[in-house]
Amino acid sequence: MQPDRIFFNTLADAAAAQTLPRFRAGVGVDNKLDRGFDPVTEADRAAERAIRALISDVYPEHGILGEEEGAEGLEREHVWVIDPIDGTRAFISGVPVWGTLIGLYRNGRSVMGLMDQPFTGERYFADGVRSHYTGPGGARELRTRACKVLEEAVLFTTSPRIIAPALQSHYDRLEDRVRLARYGTDCYAYCLLAGGHVDLVVETGLKPYDIGALIAIVEQAGGVFTTWKGERPEDGGDIVAAATPELHQAALALLNG
């Protein structure tokens, strides 16, 4: 049985009960890397534990892949893909562009997904057919913008400084062609794309939990979501999401040229 929107909202509410009280509250930060900086907080861990407990109780036959608590049952038909706080750097900096990502794969394909930003009160949800928004502006169905050429496109990446060095010149070619490039919004950028506000999101080195929920949100809003090689993105890697097929092909041509 496939879960419904009510259950996704229950998961998001459980996560928000752990993250929101800790946001801008001076939480302790651990570094997951010996070299470099990959932060994690108790808010990340507590939110994922809350989500996993509910899934295990209601759907014990489903697998789960989470950023902080590991994987179980990845060979099963349904697998939940969880990032309790996508954008932990934003979270610890007090910037409200982080989000809780809850995705559902069926036979390895992203079919449903939710991004919740509890501080702003915004929730993006893909129900298996369409994508939806609820927030301060009310509720509406999401549709990507009809941008087809790079010269009219708005491009987002979390930071050009974390593009893989071997791919930096490829990314730079793309950024040089678009109308506007903006940085720093992690998962929020993909939701802005689904909502028709921006046109391209390009990143490298992502994990499945970084995008599992976002694939469905973008695709069910009419967008295209692949790797830089044009392949299915569910396993992560170097990612390009675009508002239209035409824009997607133009971006791939530059990224791989």
Same domain for 119 and 41: yes
Average predicted confidence (pLDDT) for the chain: 95
Note the pLDDT tens digit of each residue in 119-149: 999 999 999 999 999 999 899 999 999 999 9
pLDDT mean over 10-32:
88
Torsion of CA 49, 12, 193, 142, to 10 degrees: 150
Same domain for 186 and 160: yes
Same domain for 177 and 55: no
Note the pLDDT tens digit of each residue in 167-219: 999 999 999 999 999 999 999 999 999 999 999 999 999 999 999 999 999 99
Same domain for 130 and 241: no
Q: Does 1 score more than 90 pLDDT?
A: no
Strand order from edge to edge, sheet including 78-86: 70-72, 63-66, 78-86, 99-106, 109-117, 122-126, 131-135, 138-141
pTM metric for this prediction: 0.95
CATH number at residue 19: 3.30.540.10
Same domain for 66 and 133: yes
Note the pLDDT tens digit of each residue in 51-92: 999 999 999 999 999 999 989 999 999 999 999 999 999 999
- 80, 55 Cβ separation under 8 angstroms: yes
Same domain for 203 and 121: no
Note the pLDDT tens digit of each residue in 155-171: 999 999 999 999 999 99
Q: Does 36 score more than 90 pLDDT?
A: no
Same domain for 176 and 84: no
Structure confidence at residue 26 as a pLDDT band (50, 70, 90):
confident
Give residue 60's pLDDT: 97
Note the pLDDT tens digit of each residue in 215-229: 999 999 999 999 999
Same domain for 187 and 116: no
Same domain for 246 and 134: no
Same domain for 170 and 135: no
Which distant-in-sequence residues (6+ apart) come within 8 Å of 182 by Cβ?
A: 154, 155, 156, 189, 198
Tokens of 114: 């939710």
Please say which residue of 87, 114, 141 terminates a domain: 141
Counted domains in the chain? 2
Give residue 139's pLDDT: 98
Note the pLDDT tens digit of each residue in 87-124: 999 999 999 999 999 999 999 999 999 999 999 999 99
Q: Which domain holds residue 180?
A: 150-255
